[in-house]
Amino acid sequence: MNAPTDPAASPATGELSASQLAAVRDLLVAHVPDVGDLQAALLAGGRSNLTYTLTDGPRRWVLRRPPLGHVLATAHDMRREYRVMRALAPTPVPVPRMVFEHVEPDVLGAPFYVMELVDGVIYRTVDDLARLDGDGARQLGHAFLDSLAALHVVDPATVGLADFGRPDGYLARQVGRWTKQLASSRSREVPGFDDLAARLAEDVPATQRASVVHGDYRLDNAIVSADDPGHLEAVLDWEMATLGDPLADLALFNLYWEGWGGMDNPVAATPAEHGFPSSAELTRRYAERTGFDLADNAWYTAFACFKFAVICEGIHYRYVQGLTVGEGFDRIGTLVPEVVRRGVAALDD
């Protein structure tokens, strides 16, 4: 390997230096033969971990590393993200093929991993959604929901993930964890935020089944076949995956799917507003495929709002500190008060 690189060599833009790329190549050649000199480009779309495409000309890979600045220690764990995708490879859940992980900070100043690049379409904007007619939208909605249901019925022990998390007390810990994350990323006061956290902690439902949960399951975290909208090529962004309550995953999926009342949405397009199946229809489909009881849906809805609002507040915090790379970050903070209000309203109703 080349001489150790200076972790500070990566500038504030997030670009990788020549010495860093050379060191990544030296690691890659142990897993892929005849790798040439690498070039890298920072991909748009990621709101937390940084994602790069790597190429030596004829071949392409993807490199993932944590963000450049302030994060909660457990919020951007590259080893967990790598492990869960590698474990899910033989299941019906579509994931990219992992190439290698590097757990030391000597190359990029943080752990990272490399995986194969998956070709396909990411439906991120209104224009992206408009490419599909009604039949295609329905196929994609069903395929995306079915992959979530497939994930939640995987037996963690059979794929080597029995110790991937602590499902007992998961929901209570999640409320505490996201409350802690809020405290570590607070740069302003948002009415109702603390009240929502307190009310969620007071009335935590019992978990029906421990499943592998994605933690951020939304349409722009999936790659879809360019030829068949009913086929998912890969689900991405597993940085918050663990063993926990699958209905928390479902509620966050529904929040992303339905959006938040006509507000400008810098995070992702809201499929339910553009001819896709409604979240109510997809939730019924989910219940049929998993057999889960959805009676406590109001609490899960409120928790999804709280978690999403904390994520957005953390991104807003990094934006005002000048530590976030990409477009749209100046508007994400505007989502937080409305989503908090929606969470409180779910509990009130």
- Under the banding of pLDDT at 50, 70 and 90, the label for residue 327 is low
Q: Tell me, yes or no, whether 321 and 225 share the same domain.
A: yes
Final residue in a domain of this structure, among 62, 85, 116: 116
Q: Tell me, yes or no, whether 184 and 162 share the same domain.
A: yes
Q: Tell me, yes or no, whether 112 and 132 share the same domain.
A: no
pLDDT at position 261: 56
Q: Tell me, yes or no, whether 131 and 110 share the same domain.
A: no
> Cα 209 to chain center, whole Å?
22
Q: For residues 269 and 295, which has the higher predicted lDDT (pLDDT)?
A: 295
| Spatial CB neighbours of 119, under 8 Å, sequence gap ≥ 6 | 223, 226, 233
- Per the domain annotation, does 121 fall within a domain? no
The pTM of the full predicted model, rounded to 2 decimals, is 0.84
Q: Tell me the residue range of the domain where 103 lies.
A: 7-116
Distances in whole angstroms, Cα of residue 157 to Cα of each of 76, 88, 154, 210, 280: 24, 11, 9, 11, 31
Q: Tell me, yes or no, whether 105 and 144 share the same domain.
A: no
Mean pLDDT of 309-316: 91
CATH classification at residue 105:
3.30.200.20
Final residue in a domain of this structure, among 70, 91, 116: 116
- Under the banding of pLDDT at 50, 70 and 90, the label for residue 268 is low
Convert the pLDDT of each residue in 191-250 to its tens digit: 999 999 999 999 999 999 999 999 999 999 999 999 999 999 999 989 889 999 999 999
- Under the banding of pLDDT at 50, 70 and 90, the label for residue 6 is very low
- Positive or negative torsion for Cα 30, 31, 32, 33: positive
Q: Tell me, yes or no, whether 210 and 343 share the same domain.
A: yes
pLDDT at position 97: 97
Convert the pLDDT of each residue in 88-140 to its tens digit: 999 999 999 999 999 999 999 889 999 999 999 999 888 899 899 999 999 99
Final residue in a domain of this structure, among 83, 116, 149: 116
Mean pLDDT of 244-268: 81
Into how many domains does the chain fold? 2
What's the rounded Cα separation, in Å, for the pair 255 and 218? 9
- Per the domain annotation, does 299 fall within a domain? yes
- Per the domain annotation, does 1 fall within a domain? no
Q: Tell me, yes or no, whether 161 and 18 share the same domain.
A: no
Q: Tell me, yes or no, whether 57 and 154 share the same domain.
A: no
pLDDT at position 70: 41
- Per the domain annotation, does 20 fall within a domain? yes
Q: Tell me, yes or no, whether 278 and 197 share the same domain.
A: yes
- Per the domain annotation, does 250 fall within a domain? yes
- Per the domain annotation, does 329 fall within a domain? yes
pLDDT at position 4: 37
Question: In this predicted structure, which of 159-168, 220-229, 230-239, 266-275 has the lowest mean pLDDT?
Answer: 266-275
Q: Tell me, yes or no, whether 194 and 343 share the same domain.
A: yes
Q: Tell me, yes or no, whether 195 and 336 share the same domain.
A: yes
Q: Tell me, yes or no, whether 106 and 131 share the same domain.
A: no
- Per the domain annotation, does 2 fall within a domain? no
Convert the pLDDT of each residue in 7-52 to its tens digit: 444 445 578 999 999 999 999 999 999 999 999 999 854 446 889 9
- Per the domain annotation, does 78 fall within a domain? yes
Mean pLDDT of the chain: 88
- Under the banding of pLDDT at 50, 70 and 90, the label for residue 147 is very high
The first and second tokens of residue 199, run together, are 């009310």
